[in-house]
Amino acid sequence: MFRQVVVAMNDPYYDGGPSGLQIFGWVCGVLSMGAGIVRLVVFVLMRMQIREKYNLRGTCVEDCCYSFWCASCVLCQMMAEVNIV
């Protein structure tokens, strides 16, 4: 780590801005957050439709919480409810 700092300080082309790797990490983080939000919305909407279709009890808040904290559990529950498994 210290060597990288010294090299950056002695590099005449280093402008003090973020490196390409830092930018790549930031872009990957933003994309994965976006994918997580899309997954959450899709799972919540699917759970709501399944609850309405099969007349199951539950609330939108519960759907959001379950989908956020344990997406794999939600997916298994939905598949079992519509007899896919």
Domain ranges of the chain: 57-85
Residues 6+ apart with CB under 8 A from 71: 39, 40, 43
The model's pTM is 0.65
13-34 mean pLDDT: 79
The residue type found at 46 is M
58-75 mean pLDDT: 91
Q: Which of 3-7, 62-66, 73-77 shows the lowest per-residue confidence on average (mean pLDDT)?
A: 3-7
Q: Per-residue DSSP letters for 24-38?
A: HHHHHHHHHHHHHHH
CA distance 34 to 3: 35
Q: For residue 7, is pLDDT > 70?
A: no
Residues 6+ apart with CB under 8 A from 82: 50
pLDDT band at 16 (very low <50, low <70, confident <90, very high): low
Q: With CA atoms as reference, report the closest residue to 76 among 65, 64, 85, 66.
A: 85
